[in-house]
Structures are given as structure tokens and as C-alpha cells.
A and B are shown apart, each in its own frame.
Chain A
Amino acid sequence: MVDTDILRQVEVFQDLGFAQLKAVAEHCEARDLSAGERIFSEGDEPVSLYAVLEGEVVLHWGLAPGRPALEGRTVTTLGKHRTFGWSSLVPPRKFSLSAECAGTGCRVIRVDREGLLDLFEKDPEIGYLVMFRVLEVVSARFLALQEEVARRRGSDIINRW
């Protein structure tokens, strides 16, 4: 269980009222991570949505198994109250990026996907308000990926000259 005052600052929960936040909080738990700890890997089947409480989380892709994050291609770095692991709520339910704790350590919230999806069905207003914000998260990630792809394609063109 996570305090509702903390939860309301998380980007995907910012539109919820107190009672709605309380219902969501029942499916949340906080977790401390050490620097470099892998939270999930690209291709894993997700069971949780995540948000950063303290510290930073780095998202990257195309990383060989077991290699440190900095050798992969970083898509974005997320700070306080940012959300990640949106693939847990969207088919085909497979993480499209890997996530690792950056800096000296971090604290994250884990939200149980099954509990959250059940809650959305019971109270579609919560579902609407949260999934609308999730769409913004997916959109932001899409833009970051697009920039990375454009940068790489641009480099490829230059390298062929």
C-alpha cells in the first residue's frame, strides 16, 4: 500500500480523486533498488506497471542479455513520478524496452496489473482517466524512439558517404 498523497503525484494517476486513489493504492507497493539493478528486460512478460518515487530509471533497447545498460541504446531517462512499464496494460503484454535503476539507487512503486485492470472494469472512469494518461506516456516513448531511430538512420547515411 502506498500513501494516496504520493500516488496523486504520479503522472498517470494525477487526474484521480481521493476515493479513486485509495482504490488504486491497494494494488501498489514501494520497492528500493540498488544502482544498475535490472527492473525488467525487453521481451519479458509484464505483471506490473511502475512509477519512479526517488532517483532515476533508464530505459533502453537492443541490449544483449547480461550486458550493462550503458552499452544498450538509451531511449530515455525517467525521474520522479514518471511512469514506465506501460506494456503491462496493453497487448501483446511484452516489455518493449528494458529498465534499470540509474545513479546511486532508486525507489519505485509497483502496481499490480491484474488488480489495476480489474479496477478499470469495475470503475471505467478510473480506467479512462488512467489509460488516457498512459496514452501520453506511450506517445512520449514513441517520440523518444523516433528520435533515436532518426539519429541512427542519419548516422547510417553519413557513414555510407
Chain B
Amino acid sequence: MSVLERLEEIEIFKDLTLDQRRAIGAGCEEQSFRGGERLFAEGEEAAHLWVLTEGEVDLRFDLPGRSSSPQNTILTVGRGQALGWSSLVPPYEYKLSAYCAGESCTVLRIEKQFLLELFNKDPVIGYRIVRFLNSVASLHFQQLQGSDRRLPPAITTVTVHLATCGIAAGAREVLMALMEEAGRVNRQDIEVKRGRCIGQCKTEPNVTVEISGEDPVVYQKMTAERMREVFQKHVLDGEVQAEYLLHRG
């Protein structure tokens, strides 16, 4: 797959035109890492923005003078996610350490200087990307805050399956609706997750609701509206919505 084709699938670039993605693609460098390898360390000079194209990466907050541990992971990010927003802001140092999770991962790396020049030439690209990076930084902030609250284990997990097929079918809008609903009720026992393809591409976007002590429920052909309905009626009130059910258990 070419870099341009990869960029088309990545959330941060979704609002850009083909020409704008071409311009970004000219500055991308692909790299692969093995499981456990470090992409960058907290405190290192941040010179690149990173976009994960395959696999998963753990972001860890390691305490000074202590060795890194998976227990310090505050967030695991998956395919299509961006890392390294701190490359664009003072003091230009990575705020967390990034480790390849699983067997391997592949990333696109973009030099910050290249990006800044591009943003100055075309502020539309700059606005779209910086707006997205603000939401990434916000998510990292919330995860760090959550990691310190010693939350009770999540009792309900809602997973939006965000593979390429799911995204093409509208899974991103489903996830946004879910995040809004979850944010509104602010319940610490409900966890929102992004998941992989479950091999049911014809029924995408798929969403799995897992409530402790009950069989997982997989919903099919979800929309933002259906997601809000499932959240209210199933996640909050416990009533499985048979109309959108793919399977149970």
C-alpha cells in the first residue's frame, strides 16, 4: 500500500483534500518496530509527529528514576492514531514514552519542521491537523487524570470496531456519538474502547456491549442515532436492543 493510500485511511487526515494529503505524504517516512521496542522516550527532544498505521503502541508515564513498566501505561493507541503532539509546542519534549505493544507496529513519521512550513503555506491544513492534535492532547490529559483517580474496574465496556471497513461504513461517527453520551453521564464504571475488525464487514459498523456477568452483545449496522439509543436503553437501562442485534455470546 502506498503512503498516499495509507493517509486516506487515517483519521487525522480525513478532512483533507487529495492534494493536501499528497503534500503531507511528501514528508512521511515509514518505520517498523518490534514488540517492546521504544519509539520515543519521555523527556527526549520531540522532532516528529507519528501516525500509527499498523499494530498498537503503549503510552507510558514513567516516574523519574524508575524503570519503565507496562503498569505505567496510561493509554494504548491503535491504528490510525497520532502521537507526538508535543513536537509542535514548547518545550518540544515528548511528554510520555511510547512502546510498541503486541508483536510489531508500523508508523509514519513526519518532521515537525516540514509540518510547520506546510501549515504556514496552507493554514487550512494547519487548522484541520492542529484541531485534531488538540483532541489527541485532550484525550491524553484525561487518561492521565483518570490513571490517578484509581478508578474501580470498568463494569461495562462498549467497543466500537474501528477497522477500515468499519470507518468507511461510519464507525467514526458512531464512536463520536458514544463518547458524547458517555461524557454526558460521566460514569466511571463505563469504559469506551476502540476495537479491531470482528470479521463481519457486511454488518459494519459493529459495536460490542459487555456488561459484567452477562454475555457480550454485538450490534450491527450502527449509526450515531442508533448508538445513542443503545447507550441509553442497553448500557444505562440494561435492555438489549434486539432490532440491531447481530449476535449474543
Interface pair A139/B123, CB less than 8 Å apart? no
> What chain A residues lie within 8 Å of B152 (beta carbons)?
none
Complex: how many Å from CA A152 to CA B141?
16
Complex: how many Å from CA A152 to CA B149?
11
Encoded as 1 (CB less than 8 Å from any A CB) or 0, chain B from 121 to 146 comes to 00110111011011101101110110
A149 to chain B, nearest CB (A): 5
B159-197 residues at the A interface, CB under 8 angstroms: 176, 179-180, 182-184, 186
Complex: how many Å from CA A128 to CA B130?
7
A124-157 residues at the B interface, CB under 8 angstroms: 124-125, 127-129, 131-132, 134-136, 138-139, 141-143, 145-146, 149-150, 152-154
Interface pair A131/B134, CB less than 8 Å apart? yes
User: Which of A86, A89, A92 has a CB less than 8 Å from the CB of B180?
Assistant: A92
Interface centre among A90, A93, A145 (most CB of B within 10 A): A90
Complex: how many Å from CA A89 to CA B133?
12
Interface centre among B90, B134, B135 (most CB of A within 10 A): B134
Number of interface residues of A (CB under 8 A): 36
Asked whether A120 is an interface residue with its Cβ less than 8 Å from the other chain, the reply is yes
Interface pair B88/A145, CB less than 8 Å apart? no
A91 to chain B, nearest CB (A): 5
Complex: how many Å from CA A134 to CA B134?
8
User: Which of B128, B144, B176 has a CB less than 8 Å from the CB of A145?
Assistant: B144
Chain B facing A: main interface SS: helix
Complex: how many Å from CA A59 to CA B2?
46
Complex: how many Å from CA A76 to CA B135?
21
B212-243 residues at the A interface, CB under 8 angstroms: none
Complex: how many Å from CA A91 to CA B133?
11
Asked whether B151 is an interface residue with its Cβ less than 8 Å from the other chain, the reply is no
Interface pair A146/B134, CB less than 8 Å apart? no
Interface pair B137/A132, CB less than 8 Å apart? no
> What chain A residues lie within 8 Å of B179 (beta carbons)?
91-92
B65-118 residues at the A interface, CB under 8 angstroms: 85-86, 88-90, 95
B101 to chain A, nearest CB (A): 21
Measured CB to CB, the residues of A under 8 A from B are: 43, 45, 61-62, 86-87, 89-94, 96, 120, 124-125, 127-129, 131-132, 134-136, 138-139, 141-143, 145-146, 149-150, 152-154
Measured CB to CB, the residues of B under 8 A from A are: 61, 63-64, 85-86, 88-90, 95, 119, 123-124, 126-128, 130-131, 133-135, 137-138, 140-142, 144-145, 147-149, 176, 179-180, 182-184, 186
